[in-house]
């Protein structure tokens, strides 16, 4: 089971976006659509009655959830997604990378042009029409295999130089491990010694991270990380370690010391949401209390 699922925030078009991604990626499918109740919503949600609430979709076996809400938030490059095309697994990896680049470019914009770089013979960073950022990379056949999709957390100007701290923090919270870390060289000036690229593994999932100068993107609810917790005790433990912004606590959401958004939910959330008045119960909570669902 994928215990950490990235959630992407969309402005009334999560279903459209999910259709776009499942058409753009070769191995992708819609898993489930959950709808808002038809009544009992708060005023700001009234126009969404009966519409999609979340759309869960899968790309290459990796799960995402699209949140169908308003214009309050939008994804940005502070959290992006590596898409690793491995020639040792796919003989047509480069062609398939180019194909995906073309599809994601429709209505999107290149943040780093698709070309050769010192770290990859074929790489590009694209922000799609919905604001979601993808780093498409042709990987080395000699390198250690990595999953097709890996979330990447970028520490820009407001939290610059904290990527190493974050790796230590997250691996401590989830009892994970740090993988390879590549620092900026001495000639990078003020960035020397900061993390040019790092990776860490938590709950059996890989994440990448980097420090970046001149990037004013900040973490928002546009991309959040949902953690499926094994019971109330585990949820309480993660909440105590991750939640650092009291005003961000709502409906199981919290923000950590860097501003990154998390959703800590019980593994049986779907079952709980099937109980009477479950949506209203959830909306009244900060940290989720399983017993309150009755």
pLDDT digits (tens, 9 = 90+) for 252-275: 999 999 999 999 999 999 899 889
Question: Whose CA is closest to 282, among 266, 293, 271, 270?
Answer: 293
pLDDT digits (tens, 9 = 90+) for 5-21: 999 999 999 999 999 99
pLDDT digits (tens, 9 = 90+) for 49-85: 678 899 999 999 999 999 999 999 999 999 999 999 9
pLDDT reported for residue 268:
94
**pLDDT over 80 (residue 41):** no
pLDDT reported for residue 35:
86
CATH of 79-211, one of 3.40.50.20, 3.90.600.10, 3.40.50.10800, 3.30.720.110: 3.30.720.110
Q: Model pTM?
A: 0.94
Q: What confidence category does residue 43 fall into, taking pLDDT thresholds of 50, 70 and 90? A: low
Pairing of strands 109-117, 120-127: antiparallel
Sorted by where each begins, the domain ranges of the chain are: 79-211
Mean pLDDT computed over 167-188: 96
Beta strands, E only, 204-279: 205-211, 223-229, 253-255, 261-266
Residue 62 sits at φ, ψ, to 5 deg, of -100, 135
């Amino acid at each position: 089971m994928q215990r950490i699922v990235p959630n992407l925030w969309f402005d009334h078009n999560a279903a459209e976006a999910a259709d776009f991604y499942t058409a753009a990626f070769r191995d992708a499918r819609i898993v489930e659509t959950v709808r808002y109740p038809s009544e009992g919503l708060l005023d700001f949600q009234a126009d969404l009655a009966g519409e999609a609430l979340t759309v869960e979709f899968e790309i290459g076996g990796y799960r995402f959830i699209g949140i169908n809400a308003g214009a309050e938030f939008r994804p940005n490059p502070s959290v992006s997604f590596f898409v690793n095309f491995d020639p040792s697994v796919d003989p047509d990896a480069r062609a398939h990378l180019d194909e995906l680049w073309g599809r994601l470019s429709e209505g999107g914009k290149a943040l780093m042009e698709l070309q050769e770089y010192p770290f990859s013979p074929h790489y590009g960073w694209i922000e799609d029409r919905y604001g979601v950022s993808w780093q498409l990379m042709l990987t080395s056949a000699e390198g250690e295999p990595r999953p097709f999709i890996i979330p990447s957390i970028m520490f820009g100007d407001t939290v610059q130089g904290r990527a190493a701290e974050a790796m230590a923090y997250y691996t401590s919270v989830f009892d994970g491990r740090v993988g390879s870390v590549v620092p900026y060289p001495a000639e990078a000036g003020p960035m020397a010694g900061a993390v040019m690229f790092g990776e860490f593994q938590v709950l059996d999932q890989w994440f990448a991270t980097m420090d970046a100068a001149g990037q004013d993107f900040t973490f928002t609810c546009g991309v959040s990380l949902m953690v499926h917790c094994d019971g109330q005790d585990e949820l309480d433990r993660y909440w105590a370690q991750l939640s650092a912004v009291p005003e961000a606590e709502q409906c199981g959401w919290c923000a950590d010391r860097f501003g990154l958004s998390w959703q800590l939910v019980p593994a049986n959330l779907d079952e709980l949401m099937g109980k009477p008045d479950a949506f209203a119960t959830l909306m009244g909570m900060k940290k989720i209390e399983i017993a309150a669902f009755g």
